[in-house]
Structures are given as C-alpha cells and as structure tokens.
Copies of this chain bind each other. A is one copy, B any other.
Amino acid sequence: MSNPSKIIYTFTDEAPALATYSLLPIVEAFAASADIAVETSDISLAGRILASFAEHLDADKRVQDDLAKLAVLATTPEANIIKLPNISASVPQLKGAIAELQAQGYNIPDFPEDPQTEAELQARARYSKILGSAVNPVLREGNSDRRAPAAVKAFARKHPHSMGEWSMASQSHADYMRGGDFFSSEQSITMDKAGDVRIEFVDKNGKVEVKKQLALQEGEVFDSMFMSCKKLREFFEATLQDCKETGVMWSLHVKATMMKVSHPIVFGHAVSVYYKGAFDKHAALFAELGVNPNNGISSVYDKIKSLPASLQEEILHDIHACYSDRPEMAMVDSVKGITNLHIPSDVIVDASMPAMIRSSGQMWGKDGKLKDTKAVMPESTYARIYQEMINFCKTNGAFDPTTMGTVPNVGLMAQKAEEYGSHDKTFEATVDGTMRVVLADGTVLMQHEVEAGDIWRACQTKDAAIRDWVKLAVTRARQSNTPTIFWLDPERAHDLQLQKKVEAYLQEYDLSGLDIRLMGYNEAIRISMERLIRGQDTISVTGNVLRDYLTDLFPIMELGTSAKMLSIVPLMAGGGMYETGAGGSAPKHVQQLIEENHLRWDSLGEFLALAVSLEETGIKTDNPRAKLLGKTLDAATGKLLDNNKSPSRKTGELDNRGSHFYLALYWAQELAAQTEDSVLQAHFSPLAKTLADNEATIIAELSAVQGSPVDIAGYYRSSPELTSKVMRPSPTFNAAIASLH
C-alpha cells in the first residue's frame, strides 16, 4: 500500500457523540492492525459554531472547519467517512449551544433575533448556515446503496418480529387513478446538448408567463407531467362510493413531505371531497377565513375558533354529518379521534403502506379495531407496487422473517435526481391554458393542456448521476454476487429515457457472471417477492422515489424496521460515506447518562457502518486485512445481537459501554479464530483471551459506576477529559485495549 488508509469518523452531538468516547478507542486499536488510521472530524453543532467564528476566538480556542474539509474530501476518491447522526438545529437548540459555549469562555456573538448592525447581520448570516439540515447536503454527493447487513438479517431470522396473518379473503387493496394522473401524462426528453429552458404558462389569450428558467446539462433527462384536478376529484369520489358499497374502510396515502408541493394539494382535494357537504355549504366563509384543505381538516377546526360559538357548532355539526354519508375512514389515533385526513404529514405512504401490509392489510378503524382497507394512492406510478404486494400476500400469506431473503436497494439520488416534488418546478394552474417547456431558441420541447387546478410539475436528472448509479448497481451486483433488477417501467416516458442510458452505460462494464435485468415495476417487485419467499436475494436498482419507498417496504417486512439498514452513499468522486442510525441523536439518552450514568444508545449502526467502511477500504486499497477486519466485525456484531448484548434501557443493566466491551470481545475472538491471516490471529489472540478471562471483572467495573449522577461539563460541547473518563470506567478493559498498540 502506498498510503496508509484513513477512515474519517465524524464527531457529532448528544448520545452518538457520547458513545464515540467509548467506541472510538476500540475502533482505533483494531483498525491499526490493518494499517488504517481513524481520524475524527468534528461536525457537531458546537464545532460548526466555533469554526464559523474562528476570528472571534483566542488562538488556543480556535477550531478548524472540519465540515468544509469533509466537503472537499467528499469530492476525492480517498473519502471514507462514517457519518453519525447530528443535530439539525432549530433556533432554540442553536441558542442553547451558543449560551453553553459562551459560558465555557468562547467569545462568540449572541444569536441576533432581529439583526440591525453590520456585525449582527453578519453573525445572523453565519448562524443561518448552521441551522437546520446543514450537514447532509454538503456530504451527500452520491447515489444510495442500502442493504440489510448479514448480522441484522441473521438476528431477524432468529428473533423474528411479529407479522399479521393474511386471509385469502381479505378485501384490502391499493387503488389508484387509471388516467389523468402524472403517470399517464408524463413526457420526457434527454438534452442532446447543454441548453437553457423556460417553463412557461400560456393562457387562452396567448399571454405567456415564464414560470421558471433552468440551465440544463448535456445528457440531462428532463420530464414534465400533470395531474388533472377534475379527474383526481372524480377518482376520490369513486373510491368513496366504492367503499360505501363494499363496506371496506377508506384511507389515503400520500407523501406530503417528499412531494412537498404536489402531494399537499392532492391531500387537500381528498379533504374537500370527503367533507364535500361542509366545504360546499360554507364555501364563502371558509374562503374568508383562509381555510386551506391542504393543511387537513384540523386546520378547519383551528380557523373557526375565532367564530361565534353557534357558528362554530353549526360548522362542526356539518363536518360530522359528512361521516354518515361517507365510508369509515382509517384513523391515525382512534383514541384521540385523529383521522387520516387530520393533517397531511400523519400518513406518509412509505411508512403507512408497509405498516398496513405488516398488519394483515388492515388499518385502525374509529372503534380501535383493525379493518380491511382501501388504500387510496392517486398517482398510479408507484401505487401499483403496493397492490402487487397485497395480491401477493393474499395468495402466499404474510412474509416470514425467519426464512425470507432480502431486497437491497441501489437508488438514484445524486445531484437531486428525480426530485418530483421539487417545489421550484411544481405549479398549480389557476386558469385553463398550456404549460410548456421551451428551449432558449423557442423550440417547444414538451407541452400539456391544463385546466384550472391541475398540478403540473417538472423534474431533472443529470447524466452524471445516472452514470454513477449504473456503476454503483454493477459494483453492488458484483460485490454481493446477487441477481440485480433495474426497475424501469416500459410504459413510463421517463424510464424509457433512462433505459436507453442504462443499456448504453452497462456496456462499459464487465458483466460476465452477473445477472442484471431491466423490468417494469410490477414484474420487478413480483419476481423479487417470489424469490424472497424462497429465501433468495434480489438487488433493486431504482429511481429516487422507489428508493425511498422500497428502503422502508422491504426492511419493514424483513427486519421489522428500516433503522437497522446499512445506508451507504458511495460518493461520485470515488469515496464512500457510511451513514449510521436513523433514530436521531437522542437528547433523552444524554439526560439519563448525566442523571444515572447509564447510556442506552445502541451503537449497532456504527458497528455496521464501520464493517462496510473497513470492507470498502480493503477493496479499494487492496488491503486484505481491512476486509478481514470488516468480515470479523460483522460476525462479532451478529454474535452480539444473538447473545442479546445490545444496551438495555434500564439503569443498572448492560449499557452502551458494556455493549462495546462485548463487541471488542467477540471481534477479538473472531480474529483469533480465523485462519486466513496468521499475523492478525496472533495479534488478537491474547486480547481475546484477556477479555474473556476478565469478562466478569470488566462487567462489574462497568456496572459499579451506574446509578449516580455524573458531570461532563457541557451538553453541546462536554469536556473531552471528563466525558472520556465517564465513558471508559473499566481500568481492566482500558488496559486490555491499550495492550493492542
């Protein structure tokens, strides 16, 4: 090896940061045996604040801008980044962190609520860049590679989650539009050279309004499509009538979060159709009050609070009267009376449909009972896969986590690929006319006749992102030696453009021995499911929306949760980012540590990400020891799951630190037991023995400290010395790890 390899381990916030104090020394010690350095990169909220105000600080208190460095690293082939969950700071969180840092002697400005001076304006500008999701956009420069790690899969097989039984007589189904939706109107082009385009609306008098201008790259795929408001409302009415006739419960499943402009409008039409009686009767008043059905029926309740009591009562009565004309609706919370149409973000299709399918195809009724349900998903593009799975479960019964295979995903998302909900290219027509996409020279590339209320949207997918996605799929197919399916629907305009590219770019690779196929969505999911129930694995290679849907759908069937999936972003420049844990950074865990010296954070995500990071290092730098470390770490993680050595929630029982001890023990044992590399075997055998011999002592030392409060001198930026002491309380364990060096 020319250069010793380097893994960047991000230092973040709250529980993951605390756990890092315990885990990182172990990781460093093990990684060193394969000549791999593990460096931390401080992208914590506090770290980012300090880096933003470096010139305000004394020289000894200055910190580097690690995020900026990481952003540069992410564009190099050497990037190997383990990305732990970090705080997406709200304003209160940011102010809390500022106050703490100031108290620690860092001379940073207050957060200017109402900036006036030049200094305040500058401070506000800097703090704005730190707020919210400020890390991921900088680092996610690649497509998505998600899979269930072997250890997690083995655990689910041995300790299966519950799965509701399916009846062949189930009435549940997914219903979707058979015309008039985005699917049926989609047009798609590929730019043969770079060029500027305008999105225009032309009204019936020929007046042209430019809605948006975009510079498209050569090879970029550009789509446009619309959903007919009239057809959508007719469809909703028909589904309601059908449920009324068949006695099946009605439910709506959209993705108002991801499709953040189009789906709230779709949701709003469902609200105003379901509660048509009340909306029609009070149309003028609702308009005056600014009632927006897109915000859910709950917003009506909010808006009418200003009205006289008698009028409020009348409106509430009219809303409730709708329930007698309409079929029963699925509930989000039947105890609290929260319906499916309460607020638009409660029922999110990628989570709600797997939950329904896991629960025998049923959802909760208003009486708190599970019932057969019509799952209404207006847009047919992706809804069909759920109907396919429902039919499959009716025929074959519920999936069996103890025997089923797995469906990993390679998803197109780099450079904002296929962001169908992208707010800046979605428009709701206010009058009848034509929406069109026009080249700078006036050539009309695509156009749709729209009516008032129709939802028109466009979407970009860059060629470089597609090329990288194909490469990633081939790499994953090769590395997993697993049949691989590109989900490309021959009836979708967009997918036909992609198909041409995929077929061309696949030619650039050695595909010998690989089973890579292109299929429509229905066929793809069906074959994947047929293989699943026979214990066989199939890689799904999909666009951005299916990436999002499938990385919940299959994991929830296979593992009971999508949080245990490996989430890798192989960066387009050649590096890799390994994301851990979907559960956030867990403020409650920090509180428990400080008050009772027990950290319940589960580092499973870190173990899994690290194993892949090591494996990738091994492959990229031709370092067999790195691969071996990865493989044995996976085995150790499996053993840890198997022996139930994950942290307990209860103080006094095994916590995060004890779990790390067992990981080290099992990892050392795996390395001592393997015979591929005798040097590593010899290196780790003494540690394996020491840890095993001292298991009782170490566990006692780790348990002894629990139960009393500790002081780590900070929440957003605790004292490294104090925190390290708290997180490494076993001298026996620390000495054993130290002996590795």
Contact = CB atoms under 8 A, between A and B. Distances in A.
Interface in A164-181: 167-171, 173, 175
Contact of A170 (B171, B175, B522): B171
A168 B242 contact: yes
Contacts of A394: 173, 391
A374 B168 contact: yes
Contacts of A522: 530
Contact of A169 (B173, B391, B523, B527): B173
* Residue of A167, A175, A527 ringed by the most chain B CB atoms within 10 A: A167
Contacts of A168: 173, 175, 242, 374
Interface in A472-499: none
A341 B247 CA distance: 31
A324 interface: no
Contact of A242 (B167, B242, B243, B523): B167
Contacts of A169: 171, 173, 242-243, 246-248, 372, 374
Nearest to A395: B387
Nearest to A526: B526
Interface string A374-402: 10000000000001000100110000000
A493 B115 CA distance: 79
A341 B527 CA distance: 37
Contacts of A374: 168-169
Contacts of A170: 171
Looking at chain A, what size class is its interface with the partner chain? 20 to 34
Nearest to A534: B491
Contacts of A175: 168
Interface string A310-336: 000000000000000000000000000
A372 to B, nearest CB: 8
A730 B175 CA distance: 61
A246 B165 CA distance: 13
- Give the most central of A245, A247, A391, A530: most B CB within 10 Å: A391
Interface string A234-265: 00000000110111100000000000000000
A93 to B, nearest CB: 46
**Do most interface residues of chain A lie in helix, strand or loop, or is the interface mixed?**
helix
Contacts of A247: 169
Q: Which of A169, A170, A171, A387 has the most CB of B within 10 A?
A: A169
Interface string A8-47: 0000000000000000000000000000000000000000
Interface centre among A167, A372, A395, A530 (most CB of B within 10 A): A395
Nearest to A397: B178
Contact of A246 (B167, B173, B248): B167
Contacts of A171: 169-171
Interface in A574-594: none
Contacts of A523: 526-527
A523 B527 CA distance: 9
A625 B248 CA distance: 61
A523 B530 CA distance: 10
Nearest to A171: B169
Interface in A144-175: 167-171, 173, 175
Contacts of A167: 242, 245-246
Most chain B CB within 10 A, of A372, A394, A526, is at A394
Nearest to A527: B523
A243 B523 CA distance: 31
Among A171, A242, A248, max chain B CB count under 10 A is at A171
A648 to B, nearest CB: 40
Nearest to A175: B168
Contacts of A242: 167-169
A522 B168 CA distance: 17
A488 to B, nearest CB: 16
A245 B165 CA distance: 14
A248 B169 CA distance: 7
27 contacts: A167-B242, A167-B245, A167-B246, A168-B173, A168-B175, A168-B242, A168-B374, A169-B171, A169-B173, A169-B242, A169-B246, A169-B247, A169-B248, A169-B372, A169-B374, A170-B171, A171-B171, A173-B394, A173-B395, A387-B395, A391-B391, A391-B394, A391-B395, A522-B530, A523-B526, A523-B527, A526-B526
Given A169-B243, A391-B391, 12 more contacts: A167-B242, A168-B175, A168-B242, A169-B171, A169-B242, A169-B246, A169-B374, A173-B394, A173-B395, A391-B394, A522-B530, A523-B527
Instruction: Please name the 10 residue pairs, one residue from A and one from B, whose CB atoms are nearest each other, closest first.
Output: A169-B246, A391-B391, A169-B171, A168-B173, A169-B248, A387-B395, A171-B171, A168-B175, A167-B246, A169-B173
